[in-house]
A and B are shown apart, each in its own frame.
Chain A
């Protein structure tokens, strides 16, 4: 969104972009060493009983096409590099959803010698969905809440598009907290 339009045009364009972003987010799923439970529940949300796709959400194979990174697992040391890589390949603005107790804090594997104790120690996280594993309804609720938070009118005078861009910039500028995590 680097076009130099006049302010009313820019605001209108930004509104359209936000509308499109909220109505059809594409998600990518990354398993960073989870026990499968959360992954199966994420897959179950796509199947007829829960049908996540009715919200316009599509599970996408390539990080380059995705807006939302759904991440499960406590992040094992070997998967860490790939998680960062996947995150980097996504285009701005990008959002990370941590699913399951392990992704939140390491869960039952907290303190194990080969895990990073949660996704937030490796990449910035926007939404957390607790549970071991969370029910499909909880996963849907978490993602819908994330999308709803994009829709909220900004607190100050700047328009919505700028806020999102600024928020995305902050995420990108955030220091890599987990790099020295032992």
Chain B
């Protein structure tokens, strides 16, 4: 019998798919069940935020940039506010710094618990998904009682924070942390001992230390491969200067390590919040920042729940920034998904993807390469026309679609 010619089959996944709640498209070539190539197509959540910042004032931008991502909204606001404060030469009161840290760590807890649930769901462990999301509501309640909103807290203003922590808040937080710590011990036990779940995570998607460095992985994904990358340690900002964190790393680099690292980071967040609450500095929670920001450029990086978040802000002396550039952690980790998926079973791909804690609404950017070394950017209208033309051409790839 003639050996059959191996044929590659391409499985298109997305942008609407049952696994993830965000739009992203994958073209996965398979040989049988084994992945031979993976192509990722991003951009479904590109809204043009960076350009929009150039027509809004600094205060308005604070609310716009917070809505880049609904999960790590506070840290986006913090990075922008701290960058602008650096440009304005304003010293933020220590109490405001401490409150920023507490909310950032609460956000990290809610983000990691959310991810734990989503990761477990990808692995078919829906019980863990439901439990972790039930416990996540504890953090959501805290954030709501502090800020009044469950998701976009808008805690930051230029020069400080919007609301103070009262004694009642502090009591609630400490009580909730005790409960969460107990639950987190349980989750750590589950993901490191449950036999059927370990079959989905142990040895899957292993990224060596060298690979992590070459692929430019950051955040907990890199730390699970033994690469110590954490902005809170490399370049401490705000209250992290006085309250250093201990970074958790793991040398194994597989999915199990990523679960372990993120869950252990929760303990570090609990410890840090308690430490800061213990000696919360007294005083004001905001200082005045002038409406017009002095001319200059500032780069600021912070540690988002998913890794390093970088902001570049350029001011031309008015109350509107002339350029804001955002670099989010998911885009740095995305290459690792495409590399690591090759050689694994197709069924492991959602797990490998979930392993980096992807956030597509953060990472969809437009890049234009300017070959003439000129400094002319595109205007709003040009960008709009380009978008209309581009997608008109692209839509010819599909069958013509008419509603009705």
Q: Which residues of A contact B (CB under 8 A)?
A: 28-44, 47-49, 60-63, 73-74, 76-82, 84-88, 107-109, 111-115, 123, 132-133, 135, 172-176, 182
- Smallest Cβ distance from B52 to chain A, in angstroms? 5
Q: Which residues of B contact A (CB under 8 A)?
A: 15-18, 21-23, 43-49, 51-52, 63-64, 67-71, 73, 114, 117, 129-130, 133-134, 137, 140, 150-152, 359, 361, 364, 366, 380, 383-384, 387-388, 390-391, 394-395, 398, 401-404
22 CB-based A-B contacts, threshold 8 Å: A31-B16, A33-B23, A34-B70, A36-B70, A37-B73, A39-B21, A47-B129, A47-B134, A49-B133, A49-B134, A61-B17, A76-B47, A78-B391, A79-B15, A81-B398, A82-B44, A84-B401, A109-B47, A114-B366, A115-B48, A135-B150, A174-B403
User: Which of A32, A34, A47, A78 contacts B130 (CB under 8 A)?
Assistant: A47
Also in contact, A76 and B133, with CB within 8 A (given A86-B16, A135-B150): no
For the complex, what is the distance from the CA of A77 to the CA of B401, rounded to whole Å?
A: 15
User: Which of A39, A42, A44, A175 contacts B133 (CB under 8 A)?
Assistant: A44
Q: Is the interface of B mostly helix, strand, loop or mixed?
A: loop
Q: Which residues of B contact A111 (CB under 8 A)?
A: 52
A114: nearest residue on chain B (CB-CB)? B48
Q: Which residues of A contact B63 (CB under 8 A)?
A: 108
Also in contact, A49 and B70, with CB within 8 A (given A79-B45, A113-B51): no
Cβ A35 vs Cβ B70 within 8 A: yes
Of A32, A82, A176, the most chain B CB neighbours within 10 A belong to: A82
For the complex, what is the distance from the CA of A60 to the CA of B18, rounded to whole Å?
A: 7
Q: Which residues of A contact B49 (CB under 8 A)?
A: 109, 112
B76: nearest residue on chain A (CB-CB)? A35
- Smallest Cβ distance from B129 to chain A, in angstroms? 8
For the complex, what is the distance from the CA of A77 to the CA of B390, rounded to whole Å?
A: 9
Cβ A31 vs Cβ B45 within 8 A: yes
Q: Which residues of A contact B114 (CB under 8 A)?
A: 40
Cβ A36 vs Cβ B152 within 8 A: no
Cβ A112 vs Cβ B22 within 8 A: no
Cβ A172 vs Cβ B22 within 8 A: no
A106: nearest residue on chain B (CB-CB)? B47
Cβ A39 vs Cβ B404 within 8 A: no
Q: Which residues of B contact A88 (CB under 8 A)?
A: 401, 403
Q: Which residues of A contact B117 (CB under 8 A)?
A: 47
User: Which of B16, B21, B133, B140 contacts A63 (CB under 8 A)?
Assistant: B16
For the complex, what is the distance from the CA of A123 to the CA of B402, rounded to whole Å?
A: 11
Cβ A77 vs Cβ B391 within 8 A: yes
User: Other CB < 8 Å A-B pairs besides A41-B150, A133-B70, 6 of them?
Assistant: A31-B21, A33-B47, A78-B46, A84-B403, A114-B46, A114-B384
Cβ B395 vs Cβ A81 within 8 A: yes
User: Which of A34, A61, A87, A133 contacts B152 (CB under 8 A)?
Assistant: A133
Q: Is the interface of A mostly helix, strand, loop or mixed?
A: mixed
Cβ B388 vs Cβ A108 within 8 A: no
Q: Which residues of A contact B359 (CB under 8 A)?
A: 36
Of A30, A48, A61, A78, the most chain B CB neighbours within 10 A belong to: A78
Of A34, A42, A86, A123, the most chain B CB neighbours within 10 A belong to: A34
Q: Name the 6 nearest CB pairs between A and B, nearest first.
A: A37-B70, A61-B18, A36-B70, A47-B133, A113-B384, A39-B21
- Smallest Cβ distance from A54 to chain B, in angstroms? 14
Cβ B64 vs Cβ A80 within 8 A: no
Q: Which residues of B contact A48 (CB under 8 A)?
A: 130, 133-134
Q: Which residues of A contact B361 (CB under 8 A)?
A: 33-36
User: Which of B48, B151, B404 contacts A37 (CB under 8 A)?
Assistant: B151
Q: Which residues of B contact A38 (CB under 8 A)?
A: 70
Cβ A82 vs Cβ B21 within 8 A: no
Cβ A39 vs Cβ B22 within 8 A: yes
For the complex, what is the distance from the CA of A82 to the CA of B22, rounded to whole Å?
A: 13
A63: nearest residue on chain B (CB-CB)? B16
User: Which of B17, B150, B388 contacts A182 (CB under 8 A)?
Assistant: B388
For the complex, what is the distance from the CA of A22 to the CA of B153, rounded to whole Å?
A: 35
- Smallest Cβ distance from B61 to chain A, in angstroms? 10
B64: nearest residue on chain A (CB-CB)? A108
Q: Which residues of B contact A41 (CB under 8 A)?
A: 150-151
For the complex, what is the distance from the CA of A113 to the CA of B63, rounded to whole Å?
A: 18
Cβ B23 vs Cβ A81 within 8 A: no
B381: nearest residue on chain A (CB-CB)? A113
Cβ A77 vs Cβ B130 within 8 A: no
- Smallest Cβ distance from B187 to chain A, in angstroms? 15
For the complex, what is the distance from the CA of A36 to the CA of B69, rounded to whole Å?
A: 6
- Smallest Cβ distance from A118 to chain B, in angstroms? 13
For the complex, what is the distance from the CA of A40 to the CA of B366, rounded to whole Å?
A: 25
Cβ A113 vs Cβ B16 within 8 A: no
Q: Which residues of A contact B137 (CB under 8 A)?
A: 44, 47, 49
